Amino acid sequence: MAGHTGSWALAYPEIVTCANMFWWPAEGDIIAAEPGTGHLNPLNPKTYQVLKNVIRDTTTLFPEPFYHSGADEIVPGCWKTDPTIQKYLSNGGTLSQVLEKFINNTLPFIVSLNRTVVYWEDVLLSETVHVPSTILPKEHVVLQTWNNGHNNTKRIVSSGYRAIVSSSDFYYLDCGHGGFVGNNSIYDQQNGGDKDSGGSWCGPFKTWQTIYNYDIAYGLSEEEEKLVLGGEVALWTEQADSTVLDGRIWPRSSALAESLWSENRDEKGMKRYAEATDRLNEWRSRMVSRGIGAEPIQPLWSVRNPGMCNTVH
């Protein structure tokens, strides 16, 4: 919220801007980061009537102390399609102020339900639509980072915010499978120019080694490191459903678990590649025996002969 809410228009079309419009018009602004379209309208009072009911129901169902309120990928073109927002802008308002109204009408309510509010980093770091830190109290807000790797983690914690790391360069499990939009000329080439990205905006594919090796506190001071709550892999579902779910998640997510819970270095500070390989092979076998379709990370011969497929460096 407030972006990525086109589905809400099925029940409450009056509170959603640019719903069901073509996402990339031939003329004018793009209106969505990807199909389909729709942002909640922060200038419509009914938005908050509906939203507060949803928040109240959600926090009742889930007792966890955190509530993720989104706020990523606010696309200016979507809000600009709405007449009310157009009038607001013509009177000197800005889209960042529109987002600020949304935060001011929702954050205090979530906090009143004894929840810490998690936002995607965009709410503070976006170059186009963002709010000032003065309305994001550090004691009540956690920021989840997904862009620019260590740089954005540093920006968040150096500003005094707690951080959750979900770098798309390392922790996005859906990357590397090509894009899902049709009529895409990026594939119309004979030189293999998209081999590094796999036709995916966040490609290439994130191997378990890529995930395991990422140090989420790299470049941080000791005090800044204390503000990093942890990391989280993400599997977005544009091209993933129940038929591929197990293999996309496992055992790559297990590599993250070991890296964060047990760290990825031994007592000498060396990365534990070989040990991790053997442990993941064993864990993957256990998952398969329990009916979980986890992907293999080595040939069966390698699993039966631990260490024989290692390199010497």
| Residue 19 CA from chain centroid, whole number | 22
In a domain, 291, yes or no: no
In a domain, 308, yes or no: no
In a domain, 194, yes or no: yes
Q: How confident is the model at residue 179 (pLDDT cuts 50, 70, 90)?
A: confident
Contact between 66 and 42 under an 8 Å Cβ cutoff? The reply is no
Q: Residues 6 or more apart from 277 whose CB is under 8 A from it?
A: 297, 298, 310
8-state DSSP, 118: E
Strand residues in the chain grouped as ranges (E): 16-17, 39-40, 66-68, 116-120, 141-145, 162-165, 228-231
Contact between 250 and 287 under an 8 Å Cβ cutoff? The reply is yes
Q: Residues 6 or more apart from 73 whose CB is under 8 A from it?
A: 3, 4, 33, 120, 122
Angstrom distance (rounded) from CA 118 to CA 102: 15
**What pLDDT sits at residue 246?**
98
pLDDT tens per residue, range 52-106: 999 999 999 999 999 999 999 999 999 999 999 999 999 999 999 999 999 999 9
CA dist 172 to 47, 51, 95, 128, 201, Å? 31, 28, 29, 23, 11
| Structural domain containing residue 35 | 6-241
Q: How confident is the model at residue 312 (pLDDT cuts 50, 70, 90)?
A: confident
In a domain, 136, yes or no: yes
Contact between 142 and 164 under an 8 Å Cβ cutoff? The reply is yes
CA dist 279 to 100, 250, 270, 274, Å? 47, 13, 17, 9
- Total structural domains in the chain? 1
In a domain, 22, yes or no: yes
Contact between 1 and 70 under an 8 Å Cβ cutoff? The reply is yes
Q: How confident is the model at residue 195 (pLDDT cuts 50, 70, 90)?
A: low
Indicate which CATH number applies to the domain containing 100: 3.20.20.80
In a domain, 56, yes or no: yes
Give pTM, 2 decimals: 0.95
pLDDT tens per residue, range 120-130: 999 999 999 99
CA dist 96 to 42, 71, 174, 220, 261, Å? 11, 12, 30, 29, 38
Contact between 255 and 280 under an 8 Å Cβ cutoff? The reply is yes
Mean pLDDT computed over every residue of the chain: 94
Angstrom distance (rounded) from CA 35 to CA 180: 10
In a domain, 283, yes or no: no
- Taken in order 21, 25, 31, 35, is the CA torsion positive or negative? positive
**What pLDDT sits at residue 35?**
94
Which candidate in 14, 27, 64, 73 is catalytic? Answer: 73
In a domain, 262, yes or no: no
**What pLDDT sits at residue 123?**
98
Angstrom distance (rounded) from CA 162 to CA 155: 11
Active site residue 224: no
